[in-house]
Amino acid sequence: MISISVVIPVKNEEQSIRELLARLLDQTRPPQEIVITDGGSTDSTTQIIDEFISAGAPIKLIRAEHALPGRGRNLAAAATSNEWLAFIDAGTVPAKNWLELLSAKAENEPDTEVVYGFCEPVTDSFFTECAAIAYVPPPTRTSEIVTRPRSIASSMMKKKVWQSVAGFSETLRSAEDLLFMNEVETAGFKCVFEPSAVVRWYLRPSFGSTFKRFVVYARNNIRAGLWKQWQASIFTRYLLLLTAGVATVAIFPALFWLPLALWLLMLFARALVAIRRNRNCYPGTTGRNLRRLLVLVPLIAIIDLASIIGSIEWLF
């Protein structure tokens, strides 16, 4: 049986860390150790972790001030003592057999070096259901398996993989995991998927918190050089819309309302596409879909605004 260390970066996670540690310690195949880096929590996160340590749990706590997620993972990974590293994030809930399924996949295919599990959003309210429809890619079928895009928050790999690509970027608040996974793929390590190994993660529960999070995502995504995968399409849409609107108003001043109408029509069309794309995982009646539109249209607009503001912040 392979030996596993779980790596977790945390900061101000007093609302979620207790449940996460309890779930990890109650796995059908518990890890040999859990290594946590606290990036400078100002709440009771570290006190909760210390409670588990005092109770005899196999947990190591590294205290680091102002450590972003990448540095947190690197510090924790460097302090592990096992061949395999399982990565998960605070604010998530692993299924009881998460580690068992990941490790079984690695054991059954001995040349495997990286195993990605399945990340499923928690849709425990109507808003989070709409949020998942708006910006979480739906499951797809690839090579006879159904999976979502790979996520570092449900993954396991040999320690040598992390070492060979020099770990995670330590200067990014987000997107450091995407860069890391891209580097692992480029390095040619054998990666496999185990979609039955599920980790559930919580979405932002309101318009305001979603806006703040996507501003951070946008700023760091463009810093990471990944703007073509996200912001480029948004800026292209709005540039075309702005150009058409200015030209129309310049020629026909009476149609001053047309740019606004075109913008709303664009948001409405994107909301309809999102609902259709997710019709299998989030089925709904006509009435429910109409209610979803009332949330999706402003939510997509807020995400667009956040991506633009985050990109402008990057410029400065």
Model pLDDT for residues 198-248, shown as the tens digit of each residue: 999 999 999 999 999 999 999 999 999 999 989 999 999 999 999 988 898
The structure's pTM equals 0.91
Q: How many CA atoms lie within 13 A of 125 on its CB side?
A: 9
HEC profile of 225-268? CCHHHCHHHHHHHHHHHHHHHHHHHHHCHHHCCHHHHHHHHHHH
Average pLDDT score over residue span 18-26: 97
Model pLDDT for residues 134-171, shown as the tens digit of each residue: 999 988 876 666 678 889 999 999 999 999 999 999 99
Confidence tier at 101 by pLDDT (50, 70, 90): very high
SS3 of 277, please?
helix
Confidence tier at 1 by pLDDT (50, 70, 90): confident
Q: Which residue in the block uniquely carries the two structure tokens 């310049």? A: 250
